[in-house]
Amino acid sequence: MKENQKRYEVILAGSGGQGLVLSGIMLGEAAILEGKVVVQTQSYGIASRGGLSLAEVIIDQEEIIYQQVQEPDIILTLTEEALEKYIPYAEQQVVIFYDTTLAKARTGACLTGYPFTRIASDLGNLGSVNILSLGAMIAKIPMVKKESLVRVIQKRFKGKALEMNLQALETGTDLIRKGEQTW
Amino acid sequence: MQGNQAMSEGAIYAGAKFFAGYPITPSSEIAEECSKVMLKIGGVYMQMEDEIASIAAVIGASLAGAKAFTATSGPGFSLMQENLGLAVMGEVPCVVIDVQRRGPSTGLSTKPAQGDIMQLRWGRHGDQSVIALCPATVSECFFMTVKAFNFAEKFRVPVIMAPDEIIGHMRENFSLPTPGEVEVIDRKKPSGSPENYLPFAADKDGVAPLASYGSDYVFHVSSSMHGPDGCSNNDPANAAWRVAQLHRKIEMHRDEIVITKTFSAEDAEILLIAFGATTRSSRAAALELRKRGVRAGVLQLITLWPFADKEVASLGGRAKTVIVPEMNYGGQMAGEVQKVLGGGADIRRVNSYNGEIITPQDILKAIR
Amino acid sequence: MSHATGTKYLKDGVLPHMWCSGCGIGVMLGAMLRAFEELNYKNTDTVVVTGIGCTGKADDYLKTNALHTTHGRALPYATGIKAFNPKLHVVVLMGDGDSVTIGGNHFIHAARRNIDLTAIVINNFNYGMTGGQVSGTTPGGCYTSTTSWGNPERDFDICALAEVAGANYVARETPYHGWELKELIKEALGKKGFSLVEVFSPCPTHFGKNNDMKQTREMLDWLRDRGIPADRYGKLSNDEKRAHFATGKLVDRNDPDFNTRYEDTRLKAARG
């Protein structure tokens, strides 16, 4: 891992309805709070639910000219379809997180599987899978500080939803921090 | 902030008080934003029964004194053409945002394209000129929308904002300017006696003052050929004058209307001419070429119509090779570049029409 | 007592008008201008919006504000004007082509919105300006320049359409009853919400010629004999109803209009 890295490129891939565009936006907002330059783009199909859905985030210290991710630092894949699409990047030493609830388990140096969806469901809120996996990603690669994400979540959510999402973020970062593989 | 949101913010900043539209991907965020804001600022938001009605209501509201606009995409933009022609003929200020998506027909509704370039210019029947602008960043989405309203008001002409889906849906850092920071232009109002008001008698600047329905100035607007008073007039001399005036008021102010940006283009032997999202791919490709010791630069067309012929001639004339990347099949803008630079010029087209963006690598391939 | 002439809304030197002898548009226009005068409308606060066709030429005779629009789209133009400036009196003049054929969708939605304007529809059962082609209101079996063997399609009942779509006021009259027509237009103009006055009109030049009513008189009689005041029409048998049509005021209700509802929603938005 590069320390004091200047630029981060992130791909969040899954299916419509998993909230990946929203977590991409929140990651971007957290980076903006830290004074960074951010571009977030998305690619999606016609369905609000289902179909390959994709959010890209680039975080930089200076102007981002080309808006699409070209050299990803980390890729999150929440479905089998998304994992299949991005698995070739693992050979280029790109960190790939995937969801063992929805995709078949793989082995490979850069491939790390967590049952994100099951954990989110166990926490009582399937919808927080996006925040949970985002938590794991920033614990793995320090693109933004956790506190910045907490601030973004506090701005966007209220009451029970706020509590749930903060808990999801915490659980996600713990996955990496504590190296828990017991799920 | 998202590109689509920046355009609705730009419209509000420019003083827009009326939005009528019909939902269509990938422009709906603009309508959604307006539906929240318009009611709070004393404006009107209406979802009409279709895009034909939407642009009609926009034109009606504009004549009642509102700065008015609508937002749509391919299929909806096609439906608007006839009434947009009335806005040209009746010289009614209004702004249309066409977030370009991949066609033909309903095509790939969520994917980007730059296939409406000729429709922007020639989509309406008859013989007319409009202004079309195309942003490449979220910041340009905002500032060029303010500019679009300024042009519409100043020249009494419909102005079309034509981002592609990528720019409409892209989010970037952007903070709104404070009121007064950016110039906002309002239409010229009549003065003098209401009895003598002629809504189509152009001043020296090519544009007549425009009253509002309900003011002391009673006036007549017509989609049919009309004289200075706005009433039917079938005299050939009048028709010739009217048609020419509709073109001339834009030609007269061409240098003010044509907005371009350059990136290391002054000494470029390879000149990339681009607009919208492909500007960004082009800039990345040019930087890569510079790293390799090739003098490459970019001419970004923000104003698509009227065409930046002088700028293309000047920079393109100096370059050895001109590359025009665009997300359409035949190179709609490349054809215009060819017209200016002539048949002998080395003009290379880079096109994508599968709903995917043109990457910097795609452009670099054209140079080998 | 002096009678309203409506001439203060009429441009100087425009008479005689362009419409064929026997056409009902001139009668309608006269009735409308007299109604304007009786309601004390000002040229400055009145906007007349027209579409395309014979009726669409009416704006050229007027000294009020006017907007001559594209075919079938007069209503959404008028909707934009009224929605932005509710103080204006907005009147829309259309033919049967404008209102319920090419522009049918706008017609039902304007009625549904209950936008506060008055639509006056001259229904002459065919496209007069372009040479008498079939329209959405040409009765089944009738002859036009494009139904040489009789119209195989059915016709719209414009008033019924407006009623079910939500108009606050609906009336129908023929030019045979000019005074009644003026009274109905006046009542429609005074009504808040969407109001419709349908004017069954002779078109001796085309519709009459193609359907054995070449003389104006024959067409007027055809309309007069079939028109029955609404209260009496209601008592007819179904067979008799099919052979006649109801005239006079057909619908009169007071549902809140678009601008009233919009203002309520604005207050809600202001409260957050």
Domains in chain C: ranges and CATH: 37-202+211-253 (3.40.50.970)
Query: Which chains does B contact via 3+ CB–CB distances below 8 A?
Result: A, C
Q: Residue A1: count other Cβ atoms within 10 Å of its Cβ.
A: 8
Specify the CATH number of the domain B1-188+195-257. 3.40.50.970
Residue B243: burial class (beta carbons within 10 Å; 0-12, 13-18, 19+): middle
CATH class of the domain whose range is B260-365 = alpha beta
pTM of model > 0.90: yes
List the alpha helices (DSSP H) in C45-157: 74-84, 96, 104-113
User: How near does any CA of chain B get to the CA of C71, in Å?
Assistant: 10
Domains B1-188+195-257 and B260-365 share a fold: yes
Q: Which of these, C159, C161, C155, lies nearest to C207 by C-alpha position?
A: C155
Distance CA A40, CA C198 (A): 56
Q: Do B173 and A38 lie within an 8 Å CB cutoff?
A: yes
**C-alpha distance from A59 to closest chain B C-alpha (Å):** 10
Contacts of B166 in chain A (CB under 8 A): 41, 67
Cβ–Cβ of A39/B359 closer than 8 Å? no
Round to whole Å and give the CA distance between C65 and A138: 64
pLDDT digits (tens, 9 = 90+) for B73-111: 999 999 999 999 999 999 999 999 999 999 999 999 999
For A57-115, write each residue's pLDDT tens digit: 999 999 999 999 999 999 999 999 999 999 999 999 999 999 999 999 988 889 999 99
Per-residue pLDDT of chain C (272 residues; tens, 9 = 90+): 578 899 999 999 999 999 999 999 999 999 999 999 999 999 999 999 999 999 999 999 999 999 999 999 999 999 999 999 999 999 999 999 999 999 999 999 999 999 999 999 999 999 999 999 999 999 999 999 999 999 999 999 999 999 999 999 999 999 999 999 999 999 999 999 999 999 999 999 999 999 999 998 999 999 999 999 999 999 999 999 999 999 999 999 999 999 999 999 999 999 88
Contact across the interface for B215 and C73, Cβ inside 8 Å: no
Q: C-alpha angle with apex C202: C196 to C204, nearest 5 degrees?
A: 155
Q: Shortest Cα distance from B226 to chain C (angstroms)?
A: 10
| Predicted confidence (pLDDT) per residue in A1-36, tens digit | 454 678 999 999 999 899 999 999 999 999 999 999
Mean pLDDT, rounded, for B323-342:
98
pLDDT in tens, B34-55: 999 999 999 999 999 999 999 9
Q: What are phi and psi of B98, to 5 degrees?
A: -115, 100
Out of A25, A37, A65, closest to residue B173 by CB: A37
Helices (H), chain C: 25-38, 74-84, 96, 104-113, 158-165, 178-190, 209-210, 216-226, 230-233, 238-243, 258-271
pLDDT at B320 over 70: yes
List pLDDT tens digits, range C163-200: 999 999 999 999 999 999 999 999 999 999 999 999 99
In this prediction, residues B191-196 reach a mean pLDDT of 96
- C47: number of Cβ within 10 Å: 31
What residue type is assigned to position C71 of the chain?
A: H
In this structure, what are the phi and psi dihedrals at residue B234, rounded to the nearest 5 degrees? Answer: -100, 10
- Which of A28, A44, A65 comes nearest B280 by C-beta? A65
Which residue in A25, A45, A66 is closest to B171 by CB distance?
Answer: A25
Nearest Cα to Cα of residue C270 among B17, B40, B42: B40
Determine the Cα–Cα distance for residues B70 and B76; give it in Å rounded to an integer: 10
Minimal CA–CA distance to A146: which of A115, A120, A123, A177?
A: A177
Stretch B284-294: mean pLDDT, rounded? 98
Give the C-alpha separation, B71 to B18, whole Å: 12
* Structure-block tokens of residue B127: 């013989």
Please identify among residues 78-117 of chain B the ones whose CB lies closer than 8 Å to any CB of chain C: 82-83, 85-86, 90
C65 with B218: Cβ contact below 8 A: yes
Contacts of A37 in chain B (CB under 8 A): 172-173
Residue A105 CA to residue A113 CA, distance in Å, equals: 7
The yes-or-no reply on C/A contact (3 CB pairs or more, < 8 Å) is no
The class (CATH top level) of A8-177 is alpha beta
Q: What is the ipTM of this complex?
A: 0.97
Counting every residue written for chain A, the total comes to 183
Ramachandran category for residue A156: left, alpha or beta (phi over 0 → left; psi -120 to 50 → alpha): alpha
Q: Across-strand partners of C92?
A: C49, C119
Q: Which of B 213-232 lie inside 8 A of C, CB atoms? A: 213-224, 230-232
pLDDT at A1: 44
Q: How do strand A111-114 and strand C227-229 relate by DSSP bridges?
A: unpaired
What are the boundaries of each domain within chain B?
Answer: 1-188+195-257, 260-365
The pLDDT-based confidence of A182 (bands split at 50, 70, 90) is very low
The beta strand positions in chain A, using DSSP E, are: 8-15, 37-43, 52-60, 74-77, 95-99, 111-114
Neighbour-count burial of C8, counting CB atoms closer than 10 A to its CB (0-12 exposed, 13-18 middle, 19+ buried):
middle
Contact criterion met (CB below 8 Å) for B95 and B152? yes
Whether residue B306 has a cis bond before it, omega within 30° of 0 = yes
Measured distance CA(A168)–CA(A164) in Å, rounded: 6
Q: How many CB atoms sit inside 10 A of residue A127's CB? A: 16
Residues 149 to 188 of B: which have CB under 8 A from any A CB?
166, 169-173
Q: B48 touching C, CB under 8 A?
A: yes
